[in-house]
Structure 1
Amino acid sequence: MLEGAADPGLYDFSPYRGRKPFAWPGDKKVAVWVSPNLEYYEIDPPANPHRKSWAKPHPDVVGYAHRDHANRVGHWRMAEVMSKHGFPGSVSLSVALCQHHPDVVADANARGWEFFSHGIYNTRYSYGMDEAQERAIIEDSIRTVREATGQTIRGWLAPALTHTPRTLDLIAEYGLDYTCDLYHDDQPQRVKTASGDLISMPYSLEVNDHYGFFIYNMSPREYARTLIRQFERLADEPSGTVMCIPLHSYLIGQPHRIGAFEEVLRHIAADGRAWITRSGDIADAWRAVQTGEAA
């Protein structure tokens, strides 16, 4: 048999069948969290150590203007619908937004949303960064979010989902609790790093609105039906599942899409099996189960 690449050893293999069941607070079957990606799209991002971010012509006027709809219009439309149906946000934040559009960050904070870092700009890849550069991004994220919101970030979603071999070790070293960059499970899982354990928080590419509309070419109604099917299946399974709904408000906040999304929130809120919560609360509840401290 030919040998493949070495297993990175980030987590243990744990087959879904046969896991010990557990319940979320309130004896709920599935933890549901919504993750708005609040971002700032640079019109002409600088080159990173390896290549220009985004393989597009630049300056990218179309991309910049399209995504600016998020901060001018889409966020407010999306946030109002979420608040109306009792869904807090767990914000994947491009930290530079605190400088460019502080009103958006302040609004999310006033709604009681949680913030975790999505890097400084989503247009700046981590690939090829040296350790000092990567540490500077983490330190900037912690400091800037604390100054803007009073919160200390607990989670990480790498900018444009890009990493170096040391990324997970570094975020654990800086005291973060969870990573959203591993899409390997429907329950939280332990991640092993050189700096201690992290929690792998179930995020999603499959039901991410970017994938739904740009990759799978779904209509708003098709995307809504997909979210409902995702929820129903996870709620029907034995226990301890997590459903993340990752959003970009320049997509979901468009007038022709927001109504279908609101139907999804209404359906989940009325079902009774969902613990509608934030990512940090899921991390705390899962850790309590693992240590035997759950109520």
Structure 2
Amino acid sequence: MHHDRFDYSPIIDRPNLRLPGNARVALWVVPNIEHFLFDRPSTSLVPFTAPFVPDVLNYGWRDYGVRVGIWRLMEALERHGIRGTVALNSDVCDRYPRIIEEGLKLKWDWMGHGTNNSTLLNSQDKAEEQGIVKGVLHKISQATGRRPKGWLGPALTESFNTLDILAEEGVEFVADWCNDDLPYQMRTTAGKMYSIPYSLEINDICAFLDLKKSADEFYRMIMDQFEVLYEEGKKSPRVMSICLHPFIIGHPFRIKYLNRALAEIAANDGVWLATGTEIIEWFKKESEAGGGRG
């Protein structure tokens, strides 16, 4: 089957856009802050015990992120003047309120990311999914004081109804569709929706667990991505994401290389260190000014 969410749009045929300050690259960094249920499998370092219930080995490895890794990540982003755009499981608001408290101090941006990362959005009926989305947005609004404008599905999952449900609830952009270097407009039954560039590969889960990269190789991947986008940005600006999970990047032997990459990127003129919401607000204004629809 085919979808009707957006049309094919070659990036070379789109109107030229201008980032704030005539920047070449807009960089947004996405910490995924998640809660995992004790009796369900999820992202695992050791496959052998992954089917066990409970799987203490892999659960403990993931739990390191909210206990230790997140604080290193917060320090790294603050050091380089970057406000994180958090993909937030709403269960985090109840389970780890200290993280929300510190994120608010840092003026981080918040996106919905499902209830927890053990419950995916692909098998519920429409009414059940509507209830999940409503509950997630309400909980995050209560905890942070602001209703999220963005959404990343847990494990980037969607049903056929997800975009329509999100639009009905006032969500303006999603990061699930990793198919572009610029935002673009999507179609829903409830009005406009925008896709924002997100990466599966400049992403610590895929880089370390699937591609088996070392920390210094991940640093090189980040810089290679940035250097090409920065060069392309001379003609037309680009959006770059760095997608992170505290239980992976938050280990000492990895965070060192993230710090190195962020320092080198931030040292360049022509880089806009932005949040996801800021990028979409910019894109909407550019589109209304006469260009940018993808």
Residue 240 of structure 1 is matched in structure 2 by: 237
Match of 1:258 among 255, 259, 263: 255
Letter in 1 for 2:253: H
Q: How does 1:1-295 map to 2 (within 5 A)?
A: 5=1, 7-45=2-40, 56-237=51-232, 238-292=235-289
Residue 51 of structure 1 is matched in structure 2 by: none
Q: Which runs of 4+ in 1 moved over 3 A?
A: none
Letter in 1 for 2:266: A
1:63 positional shift: 2.0
Q: Deviations over 1:152-186 (max 9, x none)?
A: 10111112222211001100111110011111111
Q: Deviations over 1:13-61 (max 9, x none)?
A: 1112232211211110111000000001111149xxxxxxx97322221
Percent of pairs with identical residues: 35
- SS at structure 2 position matched to 1:190: strand
CA distance in 2, matches of 1:57, 1:165: 32
CA distance in 2, matches of 1:29, 1:154: 25
- The size of the alignment, in residue pairs, is 282
CA distance in 1, matches of 2:65, 2:255: 13
TM-score between the two structures when normalised by the length of structure 1: 0.92
TM-score between the two structures when normalised by the length of structure 2: 0.93
CA distance in 2, matches of 1:55, 1:180: 28
- SS at structure 1 position matched to 2:18: coil
In the alignment, is the contact (CA less than 8 A) between 1:41 and 1:63 conserved in 2?
no
* Structure 2 CA distance for partners of 1:56 and 1:272, relative to 1, 3 Å: farther
Letter in 2 for 1:272: D
CA distance in 2, matches of 1:232, 1:90: 22
Q: Deviations over 1:262-292 (max 9, x none)?
A: 0111001101121001000000000000001
In the alignment, is the contact (CA less than 8 A) between 2:6 and 2:185 conserved in 1?
yes
Unaligned runs of 5+ in 1: 47-53
Q: Deviations over 1:242-266 (max 9, x none)?
A: 1010100111110101111101110
* Structure 2 CA distance for partners of 1:198 and 1:43, relative to 1, 3 Å: same
CA distance in 2, matches of 1:279, 1:154: 9
CA distance in 1, matches of 2:191, 2:50: 36
CA RMSD of aligned residues (A): 1.6
